[in-house]
Amino acid sequence: MPNTLYKWVVRDGSQAVPIGYLLPVVVRRLMETSASFAGRIQIDHHSRTMTVVSGGSAADVGECIAEIVQCWRKQRVFSILETSTREPWPVYKNADDLVCTIERSAAGLFGVNRYGVHLTGYVRCPNAKYGLKIWVPTRSASKSTFPGMLDNTVAGGLVTGEDPLECVIREADEEASLPQSFVRSSAKAVGTITYVYITDRRAGGESGLIYPECQWIYDLEMPAEIIPRPNDGEVESFDLCTVEEIQEQLSKGRFKPNCALVMVDFFIRHGILTTAEEPNLEEICQHIHRELPFPGPHEKEKVTSQRSECSIFP
């Protein structure tokens, strides 16, 4: 795979900054499509790069990409575009500045960084082995991505310009019917996890798409009287699970992959998973706090865990 990938690059001053990975099939479709867009897409096979030629503004680049995506959707080129999410996701050229926004369902085709939030809601239970239980939702069987799998208490993607805490508050209301005032006052930001995910059939759409992702992580200690309930159809049910029950489901692969990483991170931070049980704990920490291959606001985050470089290219 490393020798077949292309990079989406943009100019930032005198530098060519890579911002995404493209599979050969996407490059082929871009070559076919660029003729219809007055050469606004340039493919350099020698350097294996793709550049959007536009007026230079984020709006210009975003408009070009949106037109291409709409063309592909009409022609039914990629199955991942069959559902239009209409959620604008940010694409960055550094820690602060946008290249453009891109429709959420198309982000994987261009291999750009994706950003989201995950919240773990737990209840203190002195009689439980580890002193707590965790609210675990089961995803709706009708969802186009990872149907019927287990998730974190609350999770969602960050749209362009959205603050992580505000996203958590919104998603907690939409997915779990949690009071906004309670989440705002009680959710505790505990850092980020960063990783690169290669999609399979469970993710919906084409397999093999590259998702570099950063998730802002929150813990929420919940009183017994606050019970999460499905609200927007994304979740079928919530179950209050012991750590042992969650560990069993993790071993069976029942959790959505990135949600499994969040749960492992929770176990490490709360002293549930230690080197006594897992001699490779340091390596695990490195894998859930990888250096992402492209720039963005995650670069401003301070991560205490030892980080390792994520390198798809040699």
Give dist(CA 66, CA 10) in Å, integer: 17
The tens digit of pLDDT for each residue in 211-223 reads 999 999 999 999 9
DSSP assignment of 111-128? TB-EEEEEEEEEEE-TTS
- pLDDT tens figures, 5-51: 999 999 877 788 999 999 999 999 998 876 667 678 889 999 999 99
Give the pLDDT confidence score for residue 13 in this predicted structure: 72
At residue 314, does pLDDT exceed 90? no
Tokens 């499994």 sit at which residue? 260
Residue 1: inside a domain, yes or no?
no
DSSP 246-290: HHHHHHTT-B-HHHHHHHHHHHHHTTSS-TTT-TTHHHHHHHTBE
Q: How many domains in the chain? A: 2
Q: Looking at the structure, tell me whether residues 23 and 148 fall in a common domain.
A: no
How many CA atoms, within 13 angstroms, populate the side-chain half-sphere of residue 293?
19
Which of the residue ranges 115-124, 171-180, 303-312 would you say has the lowest mean pLDDT? Answer: 303-312
d(CA 56, CA 61): 7
CATH code of the domain covering residue 177: 3.90.79.10
- Of 87, 110, 133, the residue at which a domain comes to its end is 110
Structural domain boundaries, residue 38: 6-110
Among 51-55, 149-153, 253-257, 296-300, which is the least confidently predicted range? 51-55
pLDDT of residue 311: 31
Alpha carbon separation from 34 to 8, 27, 43, 248 (Å, rounded): 14, 10, 9, 49
